[in-house]
Structures are given as structure tokens and as C-alpha cells.
């Protein structure tokens, strides 16, 4: 799964990478958590970077904060989410994500995973329009897939990280569903590196650069 990530780069760097502009001021996120309003680029408006709550809320979902991850396998199999894949896709900018490795003693060790070369990337995501309490605007979820060789000792799932040349293809209305589904594969292990970080990252209220530093 993917329950935390970071986006601590300059807004201008993010805008340049995606060829899009923020519609409102961005706050750097060192420990982005569910329900927070975070930057996304919607297929409905690929030239804008908007802030949207992390967690979609299908009508049948009781969970208050929403569904933060959707399995790639579910997008293939379930009609409800397949419609999201066809009509409502998004990019979720990030420069790293966190995952917790279970230990034999019952404790969990947090790791940060980044591109080996560093810098910005995008998770593949889906979005839905807000349906609750008279609110408006989009909400988003990150698509996950099976773990690659790097991630497998840490967790059995990982977010779908798109290659740079796939980002615009993911947003394009002309991309066939078969090609979209083919993108939902683990990123190559050689493209990523993982390192242990402080358990401070366990608390979403601790949102300082220190949570990104090696333990």
C-alpha cells in the first residue's frame, strides 16, 4: 500500500516538470498523510495542478477518510473502479514515499523509497468528484501494484510509479484501456533505493524535513 509520501520540492520545479501551473499556493509536504489536500494533475485539466483531499469516497464506503489506495488488480476486475480508470485518471507528484517493514518482534521499521537518481516522479492515480456534505471538487486515490524485488522485503505492495514518458500518456484521452492497464506494473528495482528513517514519520503531525533523513 502507500499511506505516506513526500513532496518537498520547489513549486516552480514541479510546474516545469509537468508543464502545468498551481491553481493555489502549495505547502511543502515532508510527511503527506490521508485526508490532507495535496497536489494532483487531473486528466480533465492537465495544465493545472490542483489541491485535492487524499481519499476517494464511493457511495458504499463507510470509512470517514476515504479509500487512499486502489489495487491495480481491482481496476481490471471491478466495474466501478474501471470507470474511474477510463474517465478519471490523475498524476500524484511526489519525491519519495514511506513504507513500514514488519519485524518478528511485532514492531515496524519505517523506510523511505526514492528514485535512485533523486528528484520528482508521479504516482498513477484515479479521482472522483466529492459527493458528501455539499462539498465540491475532486478527491484522489493512489493505485498500487505488487512489490518489486527492492520493495518485497519491506512490503508486498507498492504504489505505481510512472516513467516520465508515461505521465502524459496516462492523462491522455486517446490512450486505450489496454495501454493504461499495461502501465500498472512495479517500477524497476534498479530505478529506486530505500533507506531506514526515524519512527517520527509514524506521526502525521510531525511534518518536518527530519522525517526524510536516514535513521
What are the structural domain ranges in the chain? Answer: 4-212
Question: In sequence order, what DSSP letters do the residues of the chain get, joined into one string?
Answer: ---EEEE-S-HHHHHHHHT-EESSPPPPEEEE-TTSEEEEEETT-TTEEEEEEB-B--TT---TT-B-EEEHHHHHH-HHHHHHHHH-EEEEEESEEEEEEE-TTS-EEEEEEEETT-S-EEEEEEEEE--STT--SEEEEEEEEE--TTTTTT-SEEEPEEPGGGHHHHH-TTS-HHHHHHT-SPPPGGGEEEEEB-GGGGSTT--SGGGGSB-
Catalytic site residue from 2, 90, 128, 167? 2
- Whether the pLDDT of residue 132 is over 80: the answer is no
Mean confidence (pLDDT) of the chain: 93
Rounded Cα distance, 191 and 182, in Å = 18
- CATH homologous superfamily of 4-212 equals SOS response associated peptidase-like (3.90.1680.10)
pLDDT of residue 187: 97
Confidence check: pLDDT of 201 > 70:
yes
Quote the pLDDT of residue 104: 86
Do 41 and 49 touch, CB atoms closer than 8 A? yes
pLDDT range class, residue 10, cuts 50, 70, 90: very high
CB environment 14-33: b (16+ within 10 A), e (fewer) = beebbebeeeeebeebbbbb
CA dihedral sign of residues 80, 141, 14, 189: negative
Q: What is the percent of the chain where pLDDT is above 90?
A: 81
User: What is d(CA 117, CA 50) in angstroms, rounded to the nearest whole number?
Assistant: 27
Task: Using pLDDT thresholds of 50, 70 and 90, give the confidence band for residue 71.
Answer: very high
Q: Is there a catalytic annotation at residue 77?
A: no
Q: Which of 21-25, 47-51, 80-84, 194-198 has the lowest mean pLDDT?
A: 80-84
Is 90 catalytic? The answer is no
Question: Which grid coordinates belong to 129?
Answer: 468528484
Please tell me the distance from the alpha carbon of residue 21 to that of residue 15, in angstroms, as a whole number. 5
Q: Residue 43's CB: how many other CB atoms inside 10 A?
A: 17
Residue of 10, 15, 77, 99 with catalytic role: 99
Round to whole Å and give the CA distance between 151 and 118.
Answer: 17
pLDDT surpassing 80 at residue 43: yes
Q: What is the pLDDT of residue 79?
A: 75
Alpha-carbon distance 3 to 165, whole Å? Answer: 25
- Residue 83: predicted pLDDT: 83
Residue 65 reports pLDDT greater than 80:
no
Amino acid at each position: 500500500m502507500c499511506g505516506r509520501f513526500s513532496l518537498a520540492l520547489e513549486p516552480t520545479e514541479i510546474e516545469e516538470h509537468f508543464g502545468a501551473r498551481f491553481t493555489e499556493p502549495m505547502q511543502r509536504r515532508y510527511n503527506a498523510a490521508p485526508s490532507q489536500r495535496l497536489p494532483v494533475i487531473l486528466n480533465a485539466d492537465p495544465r493545472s495542478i490542483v489541491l485535492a483531499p487524499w481519499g476517494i469516497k464511493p457511495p458504499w464506503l463507510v470509512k470517514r477518510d476515504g479509500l487512499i489506495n486502489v489495487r491495480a488488480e481491482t481496476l481490471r476486475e471491478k466495474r466501478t473502479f474501471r470507470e474511474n480508470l477510463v474517465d478519471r485518471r490523475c498524476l500524484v507528484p511526489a519525491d519519495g514515499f514511506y513504507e513500514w517493514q514488519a519485524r518478528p518482534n511485532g514492531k515496524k521499521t519505517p523506510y523511505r523509497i526514492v528514485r535512485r537518481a533523486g528528484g520528482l516522479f508521479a504516482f498513477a492515480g484515479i479521482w472522483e468528484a466529492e459527493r458528501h456534505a455539499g462539498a465540491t471538487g475532486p478527491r484522489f486515490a493512489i493505485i498500487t501494484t505488487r512489490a518489486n524485488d527492492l520493495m518485497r522485503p519491506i512490503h508486498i505492495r507498492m504504489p505505481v510509479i510512472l516513467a516520465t514518458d508515461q505521465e502524459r500518456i496516462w492523462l491522455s484521452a486517446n490512450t486505450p484501456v489496454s495501454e493504461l492497464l499495461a502501465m500498472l506494473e512495479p517500477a524497476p528495482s534498479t530505478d529506486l533505493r530505500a533507506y531506514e528513517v526515524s519512527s517520527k514519520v509514524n506521526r502525521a503531525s510531525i511534518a518536518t524535513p527530519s522525517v526524510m533523513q536516514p535513521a
